[in-house]
Amino acid sequence: MRYFYYPGCSLEGTAREYDLSTRAFLGAVGVELVDLPDWTCCGATAAQGMSRLLALALPARNLALAEKTGGNLDILVPCSACYLNLRRAEDRIRSGGEAKREINEALSETGLHCDGRVRVRHLLDVLSRDLDAASLADRVTRPLHGMRIAPYYGCQCLRPYADFDDPEEPRTMEPLIRSTGAEIFPWTVGAHCCGASHMTTKPEIGIELVAGLLDAARGADAVVTVCPMCQMNLEAYQRKASSLRGSDLSATILYLPQLLGLALGLSRDEVRLDLNLAVGQAFRKTAA
């Protein structure tokens, strides 16, 4: 299996462990990633706040690069915000008409063109549909028996494009988590919003959403995420959320490929657990 790989800006900075553990895990299961040369920012949520066309042209540039590189591979995207932006650009270009024309007119200034030939896929889409959870289970060398893991999906890998999961009650992480020997922590907020950039621009509102999620995760051994924004919101403000709610809301938060990698026998260093902001002692002892 081969894919183009679009890491996005966060995975080069605050979410390096997501990048490194994704590469390590996929490498361990024999998936080959082809780096997209000279990729640029997808526009994040900021481009949407400024200009409609910019929010389409920025991700489209990366699709055009993939088409130009050739090879007919899908683009694998671990960050949910990047995924949505690239996926939306793919959608608008595929539906043709005015949007496609406009986007290509903007791209032509950079000598690029995009026909929408490349498919954009979230990491969770690839993990849950292209890999086989049963054969993953066979390769587990460090089973996580007795652990209860809360799957956190967030928003933008599920909505508005319901490509691979139920956008209201997602389940795709469950077979993957079970393949490690762990159990699913039962909770109902896996598809709720983490507040996205509110923690930067409107922290008094963002913290309410974060505290609600951490509160629901009480009793889980870890929460796993598939998005750098979700991960950061859940791991970086636990002290603040705890004092807001007047109780201890600390929790272990890690990226899904980190959990899967550990179960396959990758070391703490290989999945870069040292870069996480919230990994509890109990989790370290049992899983790593």
Q: Which residues bind other proteins (CB under 8 A)?
A: 9-10, 12-14, 16, 38-41, 43-55, 57-58, 61, 102, 105-110, 155-156, 158-160, 162, 167-168, 192-193, 195-198, 200-203, 205, 208-209, 236, 274-275, 277
Cβ distance to other proteins smaller for residue 71 or 160: 160
CB of 232 closer than 8 Å to CB of 14? yes
Report how far apart, in Å, the C-alpha atoms of 127 and of each of 21, 49, 185 are. Answer: 13, 31, 20
Q: How far is the CB of 86 from other proteins (least distance, A)?
A: 15
Smallest distance from other proteins to CB 180, Å: 25
Q: How far apart are CA 42 and CA 46, in angstroms?
A: 10
Q: How far is the CB of 231 from other proteins (least distance, A)?
A: 12
Q: CA angle, 276 as apex, 272 and 279 as ends, to 5°?
A: 110
Q: What is the largest CA-CA distance in the chain?
A: 57
C-beta of 160: minimal distance to other proteins in Å? 5
Q: Which is nearer to other proteins, 154 or 257 (CB)?
A: 154
Report the residue number, 236 or 288, with the smaller CB distance to other proteins: 236
Q: Of 133 and 236, which has the nearer Cβ to other proteins?
A: 236
Whole-number minimum distance, CB 161 to other proteins, in Å? 9
Which residues, 6+ apart, have CB-to-CB distance to 60 below 8 Å? 89, 93, 103, 106, 107, 114
The strand pairing partners of 122, in sequence order, are 77
Contact between residue 188 and residue 216 where contact means Cβ atoms under 8 Å apart: yes
User: How many CB atoms sit inside 10 A of residue 26's CB?
Assistant: 24
Indicate the residue among 182 and 210 with the shorter CB distance to other proteins: 210
On whether the CB atoms of residues 86 and 96 are closer than 8 A, the answer is: no
Q: Considering beta carbons, is residue 53 or 133 the nearer one to other proteins?
A: 53
Residue with Cβ nearer other proteins (205 or 282): 205
Asked if residue 86 lies in contact with residue 77, where contact means CB atoms within 8 angstroms, the answer is: yes
Q: Using CB atoms within 10 A of its CB, is residue 32 exposed (0-12), middle (13-18) or buried (19+)?
A: exposed
State in angstroms the smallest separation of the CB of 55 from other proteins.
8
| Shortest Cβ 90–other proteins spacing (Å) | 16
Other beta carbons within 10 angstroms of residue 241's beta carbon come to: 24
